[in-house]
Amino acid sequence: MGELCQAEIAIIGAGPAGMAAAIRLAQAGIRPVVFDMGNAPGGQIYRQLNAPVIGETLSGTDYYRGRRLLRDFSRADIDYRPRSQVWWGQCESDGVSLGVVDSAGASRWHVHRLLLATGSMERSWPFPGWQLPGLMQAGAAQILFKEGGLVPEASPVLAGSGPLLYLLAWQYCRAGCAPQRILDTTPASRYRLPLRYLRGAWKGRHYLMKGSRMMLALKRAGVPIHHGVEALEATGRNRVERVHYYWRGHWHDQDTSLVLTHFGVVPEPQLGRAIGIPYDWHEGQQGFLPVRNASLQARDRVWIAGDGGGIGGALNAEREGRLAALSMLTVSANDVADRERERRRLEHRRATDLAVRPLLEAMFRLPSHWLSEQPDTTLVCRCESVSLGELRRAIEQGAVGPNQLKAFTRCGMGPCQGRECGESVTRLLSTVQARPPQEVGYYQVRPPVQALSLGELAAMATDA
């Protein structure tokens, strides 16, 4: 098991970016190896689309648009490895070494070039009671919907901000389980922003019209939408029984057994950071993004495509995957001119599509002081149950940065490896110390970035 596997190009992730890149590479005669945590290609956005459980009338057309990609992927000559987790990576002069665990155990790979297409994760946005059973992220609800056609038995409350909240509400309405209400933390006035971002609004009219259509459908279904909710709290013994929200100057209560939250998405950073790619704070996206050049290359031999490089959505991810593939190919190109035309065409479409992003970012901008305004009992690190109050105390005692804070409190030392608390800690220190998030920085991310057992690791020892 200690033997070394080799590949010219490895892609990590089989969402739209990873699939598009693999297809394009296969067209050029390269057989990439694709490591995917999932059971089938599609990523989160096209999950279960290989054998769909819900019809197009329920999912909306965007989901089914992925079928072409899935078909091309399944027909191309690609070394696809589902249920494979890359837990370790290291850049070397002649390529990248990867540690992979799958059902057969742990193996070591050496690849000449690497594409990270690891996608995004839902942004963690702590408030009191967010750790209770009965409170899930909207993305989780969508996964249940796509994976098994599962919907809540009792009408849920949806809370937070962003397009996914409305997509889920719309899908639930179609499936006959309309939400009780939507607690939108976006002020109503923000929905008039398109008037100020005319150029972006025009280029992104497809997204905006889709949004208005969904909102209209929700209104017709009689779902109350409260815009401008300023604070949230979930309470209950052992599970959520009630949600409290601060709206129009007062606290309101709503009995519910299920709260689904969404506060936008951020790039999943673990592997990128673990192999030493620098991340910079992006004010518009309110999170850290890997630093990439125009060819989507993050460092020698490593490219990043899709939402893992910055939030741009599924269509953009697909284009980035192809662009990254073209950039990886140019090294051995013999039909340079054709590829250059293809690249320009993709770049142009990508730019047009991305033009709406600043508008969306401004519309759904989250209040950056949210966390520091929560009560001390709010959990920030779910794994180690570290509260905001404990973090504040440790900061006063001399924890001046994320890593010292982690050392002092165990915040970020649990199984999720800081995925759920990392940016919260950056935000908190930024507010408390009045320093920009970029300067505050982030945890030093350590392997393993995916779980593996000591036994699996021990089996890789050279003398084993």
Partner 1 sequence: MFQRIAESSVIDGVDIQLDGEIYHIPVTLSVAAAVLFIKGDEEYRRHVDGHARAPFCLMGCCHECLITIDGEPNRRGCLVSVAEGMSIERQLEGSQDDG
Partner 2 sequence: MQSDFLIIGGGVVGMAVAYGLVRAGQRVTVLDESDDAFRASRGNAGLTWVQGKGIGMPHYAELSLDASLSWPAFAAELEARTEIDIEHECRGGVDLCFDAPEAKARQRDYAELQSSSRHLAQHFRWEYLDRQALQTCLPGLGKSIHGGTWSPHDGHCNPLHLLRALHAACRSLGMEYHAGTPVLSLSPCLNGFRAATPDTEFHAERVIVAAGLGARTLAPMLGLTGTVRPVRGQMLVTERMPRVEQLPTPQLRQTATGGYLIGDTHEEVGFDKGVSLEVMSFLADRAVRIYPFLRQARLIRAWGALRIMTPDGAPLYEASSRYPGAYNLNCHSGISLAAFHANELARAIIDDRLEERWSAFSGARFDVPAHR
List 97, 297, 372, 438, residue binding partner 2 (CB under 8 A): 97
Binds 139: which of partner 2, partner 1, none (CB < 5-8 Å by kind): partner 1
Asked whether position 184 contacts partner 1 by CB under 8 A, the answer is no
Total residues interacting with partner 2, rule: CB under 8 A:
41
Sign, Cα dihedral of 17, 20, 24, 26: positive
Instruction: State in angstroms the smallest separation of the CB of 240 from partner 1.
Output: 9
Binds 330: which of partner 1, partner 2, none (CB < 5-8 Å by kind): none
Torsion angle of alpha carbons 251, 252, 256, 260, nearest 10°?
-60
Instruction: State in angstroms the smallest separation of the CB of 300 from partner 2.
Output: 16
Instruction: State in angstroms the smallest separation of the CB of 362 from partner 1.
Output: 26
The answer to whether the bond into 16 is cis (omega within 30° of 0) is no
Report the residue number, 359 or 380, with the smaller CB distance to partner 1: 380
Which contiguous run of DSSP H or E holds residue 438?
A: helix 437-440
List 44, 286, 374, 426, residue binding partner 1 (CB under 8 A): 44
Which contiguous run of DSSP H or E holds residue 267?
A: strand 265-267
Distances in Å between the alpha carbon of 309 and those of 43, 118, 298? 15, 9, 9
Report the residue number, 209 or 400, with the smaller CB distance to partner 2: 400
Binds 131: which of partner 2, partner 1, none (CB < 5-8 Å by kind): partner 1
Asked whether position 432 contacts partner 1 by CB under 8 A, the answer is no
Asked whether position 451 contacts partner 2 by CB under 8 A, the answer is yes
Instruction: State in angstroms the smallest separation of the CB of 415 from partner 2.
Output: 6
Write the DSSP assignment of 353-422 as a string of letters.
Answer: HHTTHHHHHHHTPPPTTTGGGS-TT-EEETTTTEEHHHHHHHHHTT--SHHHHHHHH-TT-STTTTTTTH
Asked whether position 451 contacts partner 1 by CB under 8 A, the answer is yes
Asked whether position 404 contacts partner 2 by CB under 8 A, the answer is yes
Give the Cα separation of 177 and 174 in Å (integer). Answer: 8
Binds 458: which of partner 1, partner 2, none (CB < 5-8 Å by kind): partner 2
Output the furthest CA–CA distance in the chain (Å, rounded). Answer: 68
Report the residue number, 212 or 433, with the smaller CB distance to partner 2: 433
Interactions with partner 1, residue window 383-422 (CB under 8 A): 383-385, 414-416, 419-420
Distances in Å between the alpha carbon of 318 and those of 35, 96, 137, 323, 433? 17, 24, 25, 9, 40
User: What residue type is assigned to position 4 of the chain?
Assistant: L
Chain residues binding partner 1 by CB under 8 A are 37, 39, 44, 48, 51-55, 57-58, 83, 85, 121-122, 131-137, 139-140, 143-144, 147-154, 175-176, 238-239, 257-258, 268, 382-385, 414-416, 419-420, 450-451
